Structure 1
Amino acid sequence: MNINELIAIVKNKLQAEIVIQNIKIEDKSFLHKKHKSHQEGKFHLKLTINSEELAKTSKIVSTKRIYNVLDFELKEYIHSIQILLN
């Protein structure tokens, strides 16, 4: 899977499960290429999400919800994920 496919899947899955006003997904894999734990085919993503629905819950609950939606992708394609909730 390439990064553009992964970004599209992540965006579609999150928007299907959570009411999101705006979402920005950035590939930050380049920051981790030299790390010992870097694995080819695993990506580092930064999500910036504006969601009134998630804003009604705590950050921990919101993060858990996002992790549940992206469970498969986290296991198979995402090495690291940074989530910013606005």
Structure 2
Amino acid sequence: MDINNLISIIKEKILVEIQCEDLKIEDKSFLHKNHKGNDGSKFHIKLTIKSEQLKQYSKIESNKLIYKTLDEEMKKFIHSLQILII
């Protein structure tokens, strides 16, 4: 999977499952370039989500919803997921 396809999939899934006012998805894979176990086939993704819906939940609950939404991608394509809810 290439990063542009992954970003498109992430965006589509989040927008379907979560009410967002704004969504920014960044590839931060360079942060893991020299980490042990990083084989280059998985990505480090940073999500910046502006969502009144998520702000109503605790940080743990909102992160669980995001991880559940991206479950398949987490297993196959994402090495690390950084989440910022604003």
TM-score w.r.t. structure 1 length? Answer: 0.97
Paired residue for 1:14? 14
Q: Does 1:78 align with 2:78?
A: yes
Structure 1 unaligned regions, length at least 5: none
Q: For each residue in 1:32-72, what CA deviation from the matched residue of structure 2 results, as whole angstroms up to 9, or x when unmatched? A: 11111212210000000000111111111000000000000
Flag structure 2 segments of 5+ consecutive residues without an equivalent: none
Which residue of 2 is the match for residue 26 of structure 1? 26
Shift of 1:21: 0.5
- In the aligned structure 2, how far is the partner of 1:57 from the partner of 1:7? 25
* Correspondences of 1:33-48 after superposition (within 5 Å): 33-48=33-48
* TM-score, L = length of structure 2: 0.97
Percent identity, aligned pairs only, is 57
Measured in 2, the distance between the counterparts of 1:76 and 1:32 equals 16
Aligned equivalents of 1:57 and 1:35: distance in 2?
33
Counterpart amino acid of residue 36 in structure 1:
K
Match of 1:50 in 2: 50
2:60 maps to 60
How far the C-alpha of 1:22 sits from its partner, in A, is 0.3
- Quote the RMSD (CA, aligned, Å): 0.6
Number of residues of Structure 1 aligned to a counterpart in Structure 2:
86
Task: Give secondary structure in 1 for the equivalent of 2:45.
Answer: strand
